[in-house]
Structure 1
Amino acid sequence: MNDTGGVFQIDMTLERVFDTLTEVPTFPEVVQKALALLDDPMATMADVEELLRYDQAITANILRVTNSAHFGLPQQVSNLQTALALLGTDQIRQILMVSASLPYLSRPLNGYGLTARELWAHAIGCAVTAEILAGELGHGEPSLPFTAALLHDLGKIVLDLHLGIRLEEIRLLVERERLPFDEAEWRVLGADHAVIGYELLHQWNFPPGICRAVRNHHDPDLYVQDDLSAIMALSNILAVSLGMGVHGDSFRYRIAPDLAERLGLSGESLDRCIARSLDAFYAARDLVGLVPA
């Protein structure tokens, strides 16, 4: 009887979590539209400017990045049109995604023992690592791995907000049995933060490939099924192992042989990606300048 009651309670808890997804503020529509324009061969940068010029926060971030020491411009850029021309499409995508994601990734996850800075740094670290892996592998659209990796832990935010004492139960299981959080989540809830993140991104109408990569990134049976999922999984493993925004958990993450085989990465290629990822992580952290205190 107690076991049945416990299962019923877990199911009801998980059901409430799914119900609350509709309460999470939706991903900014202006960013979704701007990303679509950047992918539209018929659209122009003038179309992008016309859309973004009315969003003060995004315009300010674009101008701030353009005027950073990274670009070393002889004079300050004060208008969006010039900034967009100087940045180029890939950098614009990144600034849009980072600006739009900041509200979701700038609060501490107490249930997971993560500060806001750690959460944000891990998201940035995964994103730049995924982009570098995609480039090394010749993936056609490096912006997709970047986006998937930046948003891969959204499910943790939802669980941290709504699970309360059940999340403490998960955390105790992690400490007692030295499990990764995703395994403990499955044991307690019957789902993990990757499943929750998938559902949230699906509701926000993100491309199916991004949703699938977020869903698969902890599941060895699933993340070897397609390149984007494999890149997402490997970028997360590398970011954790390299200490990008996390601590004390790296020993639980190893690169499975079939994951490296799926991507066709040699040891030399992997070492090169790791070195470039660390450089890109520190550069992005300084350049973006949005990491919460």
Structure 2
Amino acid sequence: MTETSPPSSGKLAEIFAKMNMGELPELPAMSHNVQELIALTHSSQSAGYELSKVILKDYSLTNKVLQVVNSAFYSLGRPVNSISRAVTIIGFDAVRDLATGIALFEDFVKNGVEKEGISKLLTRSFLSALQARDLAVEKNLNIVPEEAFICALLHNLGKIIVCIYMPEISREIEEKVAGGMSEDAATRQILEGLTFDQIGVEVATFWNLSDKVCAAMNPNPS
């Protein structure tokens, strides 16, 4: 996947501008770990090594990534005890997306402006991710369990981004939904035709997340 430039106009550009911590330092910044993970691409022979090196800088992140990998691959009969081994088994993109998702969620929890709202969103997303992973294993679906996990985890990325960086708009959408309007209609009305799914896809694409993660957010893939 190639890197893209952020949108230059409209509400989407406003969201990207608010995510640019150099311009708006009062808003929560992504951790250095997340920035490094987003910058990594599978474009060199040393990509797996570089990915392992970034993840291993964070002991907590390393443990969480290995925990998810091992819980999904328990049927192998042997533990996956290193990040490099995880890359070998499930691939660069799956490990990178998984690590990025976990690290992002930690940042979201730590930096969320709307603490209660963001906590509910993250909890719902994490439970959905666990369920998706378990279904992939139990039903023997044609999808790597980690990919099911990360796709479900980041399915609501657009909504999470709006909740964190545009809390007043998030509240306005919630009020319209409480008044009987569908979330999709309310979001389109307030965000100039945009939906949470579209925002999520744009952000995930800009962050160089895998095509599968982006496709999981898109209700109408081409």
Q: Which TM class, normalised by the smaller chain length?
A: 0.5 to 0.7
Amino acid at match of 2:197: A
**Are 2:162 and 2:169, in contact at CA under 8 Å, matched by a contact in 1?**
no
1:152 aligns to what SS in structure 2?
coil
Candidates 29, 33, 38, aligned match of 2:36: 29
Larger mean CA deviation between 193-202 and 19-28 belongs to 19-28
1:103 aligns to what SS in structure 2?
helix
Counterpart of 1:105 in structure 2 is 108
- Aligned residue runs from structure 1 range 95-174, under 5 A: 96-97=99-100, 99-106=102-109, 110=114, 114-116=117-119, 118-135=120-137, 136=139, 138-174=141-177
Shift of the 62–215 alpha-carbon distance from structure 1 to 2, 3 Å rule, reads: closer
1:215 aligns with 2:215: no
Amino acid at match of 2:30: P
1:192 aligns with 2:185: no
Counterpart of 1:4 in structure 2 is none
**Are 2:173 and 2:186, in contact at CA under 8 Å, matched by a contact in 1?**
yes
The structure with the larger Rg is: 1
Candidates 30, 55, 66, aligned match of 2:58: 55
Counterpart of 1:183 in structure 2 is 185
Total equivalences in the alignment? 186
Shift of the 162–152 alpha-carbon distance from structure 1 to 2, 3 Å rule, reads: same
Shift of the 62–159 alpha-carbon distance from structure 1 to 2, 3 Å rule, reads: closer
Counterpart of 1:5 in structure 2 is none
Shift of the 31–58 alpha-carbon distance from structure 1 to 2, 3 Å rule, reads: farther
Structure 2: gaps of 5 or more residues: 1-8, 22-28, 69-73, 75-79
Shift of the 128–180 alpha-carbon distance from structure 1 to 2, 3 Å rule, reads: farther
Structure 1: gaps of 5 or more residues: 1-10, 66-70, 72-81, 217-221, 227-293
Candidates 73, 81, 84, aligned match of 2:82: 84
Shift of the 206–96 alpha-carbon distance from structure 1 to 2, 3 Å rule, reads: closer
**Are 2:37 and 2:51, in contact at CA under 8 Å, matched by a contact in 1?**
no
Question: C-alpha distance in 1, partners of 2:186/2:19?
Answer: 21
- TM superposition score normalised by structure 2: 0.60
Candidates 17, 20, 35, aligned match of 2:18: 20
1:105 aligns to what SS in structure 2?
helix
1:102 aligns to what SS in structure 2?
helix
**Are 1:31 and 1:96, in contact at CA under 8 Å, matched by a contact in 2?**
no
Q: Give the fraction of aligned pairs with identical amino acids, expressed as a percent.
A: 20
Shift of the 186–137 alpha-carbon distance from structure 1 to 2, 3 Å rule, reads: farther
Amino acid at match of 1:25: M
- TM superposition score normalised by structure 1: 0.48
